[in-house]
Structure 1
Amino acid sequence: MNRQSIPLLSPAIGTHRELVSFHFGPADSGQKIYIQASLHADETPSMLTTVLLKRRLLELEQAGALNAEIVLVPVSNPVGLSQYVLGQFVGRFDLGSGKNFNRHFVQFTKLVADAKEALGADANENRRIVRALLAAELAQQKPMTEFDSLQLALLKLSYDADIVIDLHCSLEAAMHVYTSEAAWAEFEPLSRYLGAEASLLATDSGGGAFDETHSLLWWTLQQQFPASKPVPTGTIAVTVECRGQRDVSYEVAQQDADALVDYLVWRGAIRGEARPLPPLLSPATPLAGSEQFYAPVSGILVHRAKIGDTIRVGQPLFDIVDPLTDETTTIVSQTEGVLYMRRAIRFVTAGAPLGRVTGTRPIRTGVLLGA
């Protein structure tokens, strides 16, 4: 194991933060796996999973069982971890700018134009050329803030990975994953091993999130270039939501770490016999098919369904009780699917998001991610 540290741009005199990564396996293997956790800082379940995964990877490395380079970043947002305000972490947004730490990563639009002149008839050589162009464009980036330097450091660690696994958690949620339609066949086994209760697919969900910054570039190149200039898939990416923020235990984290190892064995990144694939708990559905519920009024929020429940059309999901008038407003589902995430608060203001249910038919367009 090789521990590396990348200093981030200092935001003020007397302050300094760093991004720490752990590198396992042969760097010249021709296969690279990148795994990070807690990009929204206080996503503790995913962080604990990487602690246990790191221990297992060290054992596997010492046993000579790693076929791939594996880069692990357990704390991918040290900036957000410093934002402890009035007894609460504010890890999703940068307090200085209001920016979401997992939005608006570099989209490499210049690279697409440069590739038109550089690519040829050899697919493998084209993969190498695109990665060289990526490295060059990242080297030219000049971060102006600590936020920018963090995003740039993460991309420099991951841009040349074959597989990117971005571990998060929601507020209250079942295990679920996000990936693209093109990558689903490669990540379906991961969904099975993790016991995901929802698998949500979108090629471009909007917002420039970390996972799609990697996968969308290669998909775009494949759409724009003719067969005479073949572009193979360079990177596929998945976001894993490790349930809810309070789902922190050794048992659950070990289960998730074991699932990640099982998946890497299945891929051939780790030597061994792959564990038989468990059943897929729910079929993959379009992210655009998920119904998002909002509070039409303010009041006390009472949940009428449990996380992971299969919901039918017309089923009550939330009650909002006005403590002054005793009036109760009930929100029902218009979609049949799985209630896979909801807010952790129990008093809501008008317009507050409440939760989501999967759906098989696309009903939303535009930016599909929350703020």
Structure 2
Amino acid sequence: MNQQSIPLVSSAIGTRRELTVFRFGPAHSDQKVFIQASLHADETPAMLTAVLLKRRLLELEAQHALAAQVVLVPVANPIGLSQYVLGQFVGRFELDSGKNFNRHFLPFDRVIDRAKDALGADPLENRRLVRQLMRDELEFRTPRNEFESLQHELLKLSYDADLVIDLHCSQEAAMHIYTNETGWPEFEPLARYLGSRASMLANDSGGQSFDEAHSLFWHQLQQSLPASKPVSIGTFAVTVECRGQRDVSYEVAQQDADALIDYLIWRRALHGDPKPLPDLPMPATPLAGSEQLVAPVSGILVHRAEVGATVRAGDALFDIVDPLTDATTTIVSRNDGVLYMRRAIRFVTAGAALGRVTGTQPTRTGYLLSA
């Protein structure tokens, strides 16, 4: 294992934060895997999974069982780790700017323009050339502040990875994943090993999140090139939501770390015989089909269904009780699907987001993510 510290742009005199990176396996392998945890810094279950994954990778490296280079960043957001307000952890948004740490990663639009002239007829050589153009673009950019330098350094670590796994969690949730339609065949086995209750697909969710900074780029590149200039996909990327923020235990984290190891063996990034694939708990569905449940009134929120539950259209999911009038408003599902996440709140204002249910038919367009 090789450990590296990467300093971020200092936000103020006398202060400095850094990314800590762990590299396992052969440095010049034909395959590179990048895994990071807790880009939203308050999503602690992902971080514990990364800790246990690191321990296992150390063992496997000592056994010479790594076929790929594995780059692991267990703490992907040292900025957010320091953000406490009146005792409350704020790890999703940077307090200085209000920006979401996992939105609006800088796109590689100029790379696409340059690739149209630089590429030839060999798809593998074209992929190599595109990665060179991506590296040149990253070297050209100069981050202006700490937030930009965090996103910039994470892209520098991952732009040439064949596989990107971004570990997160929701507030209260079942295990679920997000990827694009092209990446689904690559990650369907991961969904099986993880026991994912929901797998949602979108080529472009509108938020330019970390996974899409990779997958959407290669998708757009392929769409923009003529047939005479084919290019192999450089990066398959997935976001894994390790249940909810309070699901922090050795047992659950070990289960998820083991599932990641099983998947890397299946993908031949690690040597060994892959375990038989478990049944897929739920088929993949379009992210545009997921139902976003919103409170129509204010009041006490009472949950009527558990996260991960299979629900049918018309099933009661929440009650909102007005403590002054005793009026109760029941929120029902419009979809047949899985209640894969809900907010951790228990008193809501009108318009507050409550939770989400998967759906098989696209019903939304444009920006498909939460704030």
TM-score, normalised by the number of residues in structure 2? 0.99
Report the equivalent of 1:206.
206
CA distance in structure 1 between the partners assigned to 2:129 and 2:68 by the alignment? 21
For each residue in 1:112-150, what CA deviation from the matched residue of structure 2 results, as whole angstroms up to 9, or x when unmatched? 111111000111110011000000000111111100000
- Residue in structure 1 matched with residue 303 of structure 2 by the alignment: 303
What secondary structure, in the 3-state scheme, does the structure 2 residue paired with 1:164 have? strand
Structure 1 residue 227: deviation in Å? 1.9
Q: After superposition, give the CA deviation of every residue in 1:62-115 in whole Å (9 maximum; x if it has no partner).
A: 110000000000000000001011111100000000000000001111111111
2:58 and 2:357 map into 1 onto residues whose CA distance is: 39
Could you tell me how far 1:45 is from its partner in structure 2? 0.4
Q: Distance in 2 between matches of 1:111 and 1:10?
A: 29
Structure 1 equivalent of residue 317 of structure 2: 317
Q: Percent identity?
A: 73
TM-score, normalization by structure 1: 0.99
1:224 Cα deviation after fit: 1.2
Secondary structure of residue in 1 paired with 2:192: helix
* Residue identity in the other structure for 2:13: I
* Cα distance in 1 for residues equivalent to 2:12 and 2:348: 36
**CA distance in structure 1 between the partners assigned to 2:172 and 2:163 by the alignment:** 27
- 1:73 aligns with 73
1:337 corresponds in structure 2 to: 337
- Distance (Å, rounded) in 2 between the aligned partners of 1:108 and 1:223: 14
Residue in structure 2 matched with residue 132 of structure 1 by the alignment: 132
- Aligned equivalents of 2:240, 2:172: Cα separation in 1: 14
Q: What one-letter code is carried by the residue in structure 1 that aligns with 2:315? A: Q
Q: CA RMSD in A?
A: 0.6
How many angstroms apart in 1 are the aligned matches of 2:68 and 2:281? 29
Residue 144 of structure 1 is matched in structure 2 by: 144
Q: Which residue of 1 aligns with 2:188?
A: 188
Can you list the C-alpha shifts for 1:253-300, whole angstroms capped at 9, x where unaligned? 000000000000000000000000000000000000000000111111
AA aligned to 1:124 is L
Partner of 2:48: 48
Aligned residues: 371
Please state how far the C-alpha of 1:15 moved relative to its aligned partner.
1.1
Q: Does the residue aligned with 2:156 lie in a helix, a strand or coil?
A: helix
Report the counterpart of residue 216 of structure 2 in structure 1. 216
Find the residue that maps to 2:26 and give its secondary structure: coil
Task: Describe the SS at the equivalent of 1:350.
Answer: coil
2:117 alignment counterpart: 117
Q: Which amino acid aligns with 2:126?
A: N
User: Counterpart of 1:286?
Assistant: 286
Moved over 4 A (4+): none
Q: CA deviation at 1:230?
A: 0.6
Counterpart of 1:329, as a letter, is T
Instruction: State the shift of 1:228 in Å.
Output: 1.0
Question: For each residue in 1:314-349, what CA deviation from the matched residue of structure 2 results, as whole angstroms up to 9, or x when unmatched?
Answer: 111111111111111111111110000000010111
Q: Which residue number corresponds to residue 24 of structure 2? A: 24
Aligned counterpart, 2:234: 234
Q: 2 CA distance for matches of 1:93 and 1:44?
A: 15
Question: What secondary structure sits across from 1:6 in the alignment?
Answer: strand
> 1:350-369 residue pairs with structure 2 within 5 A?
350-369=350-369
What's the CA shift for 1:226? Answer: 1.6
Query: What is the distance in 1 between the residues matched to 2:352 and 2:80?
Result: 23
